[in-house]
């Protein structure tokens, strides 16, 4: 089954404690991206990757890091989480972003205390 | 400044009637537009798209209209069904094909 898998789905952590949200896709997609969803703001892009070892900032990259060492994986790293990073995070993949559909994971709800 | 805006946070429609969801954008460089549907506790799923060279695209009960001069697109759902109740996001892609910008979403409620 074609899918994008994120882990963890839910996480409560404390300020400053480094964490990683993993994302894996099994569709051999070149493009992968991370979004955060906040009330009234919709989905805002954090980082994206056009291919292995190619990453770039989206609209809200501050406080986040990513890496793309393999085609299928695109982890999101919060080196020192802060409460304003409390949000719902989505990973997505696509053959190419402007051909149409992005395939989204089920989301990871992160709370930073 | 939001480049893609959905000015109605919610919409309530009777089953069987038409649902019209609206979206405005400001960036004239956008050349591909999409609608996504999101149920609670799930990721968004792609619904329908339209290229900037077209003004209409239809897929079953769903039709997207694009008015480039007004920088406006709309999604029509006819007839609306209770299962259509969800949050709908419009999105726009730049012509470089590397970023997708989303609107804030509209929550559609279809009443039986």
Please state the length of chain A: 113
What gap in Å lies between CA B71 and CA B110, rounded to an integer? 27
The length of chain B in residues reads 112
B64-86 residue pLDDT tens: 999 999 999 999 999 999 999 99
Pick from A42, A56, A97: CB nearest B89: A42
> Residue B48's CB: how many other CB atoms inside 10 A?
19
Q: Determine the average pLDDT of the residues in A85-98.
A: 88
Residue B38 structure tokens: 């999101």
Least confident of A19-28, B1-10, B65-74, B79-88: B1-10
pLDDT for res B98: 74
Work out the mean pLDDT of chain B and round it to a whole number. Answer: 94
- Contact list in B for residue A101 (CB cut-off 8 A) is 34, 46, 49
B3-8 mean pLDDT: 93
Choice between B61 and A97, residue whose per-residue pLDDT is larger: B61
Nearest residue, CB atoms, A42 vs list B31, B42, B104: B104
In this predicted model, what pLDDT tens digit does every residue of B93-111 receive, in sequence order? Answer: 877 767 889 999 999 999 9
Q: Are strands B86-94 and B106-111 parallel, antiparallel or unpaired?
A: antiparallel
State chain A's mean pLDDT as an integer. Answer: 93
Cα–Cα distance, B44 to A86 (Å, whole number)? 19
Cα dihedral A113/A63/A47/B66 (nearest 10): 70
B105 shares contact with chain A (CB less than 8 Å): yes
């Amino acid at each position: 089954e074609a899918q994008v898998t994120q882990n963890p789905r839910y996480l409560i952590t404390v300020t400053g404690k480094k964490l990683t949200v993993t994302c894996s896709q099994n569709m051999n997609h070149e493009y992968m991206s991370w979004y955060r969803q906040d009330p009234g703001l919709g989905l805002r892009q954090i980082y994206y990757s056009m291919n292995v070892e190619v990453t770039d900032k989206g609209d809200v990259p501050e406080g986040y890091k990513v890496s793309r060492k393999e085609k299928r994986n695109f982890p999101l790293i919060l080196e020192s989480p802060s409460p304003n990073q409390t949000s719902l995070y989505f990973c997505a993949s696509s053959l190419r972003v402007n051909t149409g559909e992005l395939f989204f994971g089920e989301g990871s709800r992160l709370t930073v205390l | 400044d939001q480049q893609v805006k959905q000015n109605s946070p919610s919409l309530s429609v009777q089953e069987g009637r038409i649902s019209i969801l609206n979206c405005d954008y400001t960036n004239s460089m956008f050349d591909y537009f999409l609608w996504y549907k999101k149920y609670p506790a799930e990721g968004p799923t792609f619904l329908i798209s339209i290229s900037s060279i077209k003004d209409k695209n239809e897929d079953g009960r769903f039709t997207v209209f694009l008015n480039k001069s007004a920088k406006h697109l709309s999604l029509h759902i006819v007839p609306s069904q209770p299962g259509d109740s969800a949050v709908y996001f419009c999105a726009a892609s730049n012509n470089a094909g590397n970023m997708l910008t989303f609107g804030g979403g509209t929550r559609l409620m279809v009443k039986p």
